[in-house]
Amino acid sequence: NSIWVSTDHDEIGKVAKQFGAQVHHRSPEVSQDSSTSLEAITEFLNHHHEVDIVGNIQATSPCLHPSDLIKVADLIQKEGFDSVFSVVRRHQFRWSEVKKGENKMTEPQNLNPAKRYRRQDWPGELYENGSFYFAKRHLIEKGYLQGGKMAYYEMRAEHSVDIDIDIDWPIAEQRVLSFGYFGKEPLKEVKLLVCSIDGCLTNGRIYVTEDHKEMISYDYRDIVGIDLLKKRGIQVRLISDRDCSKTLSAMQLVCVAKVNVTNKLQVLKDWQEDMGLSWKEVAYLGNEESDVECLKQAGMSGVPADACSAAQKAAGYICKSRGGCGAVREFAEHIFLLLEKVNSARKQ
């Protein structure tokens, strides 16, 4: 019914609002290094008596998919559970710890070394992964998030990432790239990428000489990215609000382009229909408010790191690279990861 970010940090609150969340300004008493999630949730409930069920999503678990949350909400709202928490199946053999100085041997905890079996033949064990905890108000008011009629929700291993230490960051980033959320419909192969020229293919800056000639700069990596897309059978088309036909001619890009466009979404729809594509087969890279509706409509959407906030909010992927500095190449790599996922699903 409502999405809240609990924080004592003004900048985090600002970003949360940009992406459509409401902000609960957490008090200093529950903002200490030693503060628990339960304390923050309890404080929130004290200010929001209309809330009956809380789904606590951990910020340190970025690979959580919306489809998982929908199923968990149903377990509480439709099947009558009081609390539901996330787990992941692990295939790890455990041994007892022997502390330094103790005169004893380690002992197996969950295996028989005399009849050791292959881990892939073993069903494994369920562990909490910290992605989320759902609970009804009456449990939280008693001081716990798990209790009453309990259920666990088993998440897929590739979606189960908990950022605790520095090394977890690159692992999480790769998981998001490889298994990111692509929507409810079955994945389809991307066949068309439409890219906004100014601010994506270029950095958006226009240099004007004394004799009124315009100059722009672009990153050669982006040109390579476009060539790689074409070699994979993906059409690349370019679009711009302004008349930049001379720029395109100078760049010698062999791409269909539409310039001086007043309605980008209509052009995108025309291209999609002419090619006989579903929206899931269309990718769009934009950076301005004029690109927002296209970003929302395309099956796969991205923006450079320096795109406006409205475009970032509408996009499914935000590049690390800025416009004109490798963003097109980076988004192309993101598309290739999707294609690998599609091909893997087909083989299975």
- The catalytic residue positions are 116
Rounded to an integer, what distance in angstroms lies between the CA atom of residue 257 and that of residue 205? 20
Cβ neighbours of residue 16 closer than 8 Å, sequence gap 6 or more: 5, 7, 22, 23
- In sequence order, what DSSP letters do the residues of 204-253 get, joined into one string? S--EE-TTS-EE--B-HHHHHHHHHHHHTT-EEEEE-SS--HHHHHHHT-
Contact criterion met (CB below 8 Å) for 216 and 207: yes
Q: Whole-angstrom distance between the N-terminal and C-terminal Cα of the chain?
A: 37
| DSSP code for 202 | B
Mapped onto helix, strand or coil, the DSSP state of residue 163 is coil
Q: Where in the chain does DSSP place strands (E)? A: 4-7, 22-25, 53-57, 83-90, 125-136, 150-155, 192-196, 207-208, 214-215, 235-239, 256-258, 282-285, 300-303, 317-318
- In sequence order, what DSSP letters do the residues of 133-162 get, joined into one string? EEEEHHHHHHT-SS-SSEEEEEEPGGG---
* Amino acid (one-letter) located at 244: C
Strands 53-57, 125-136: pairing kind: antiparallel
Rounded to an integer, what distance in angstroms lies between the CA atom of residue 115 and that of residue 94? 15
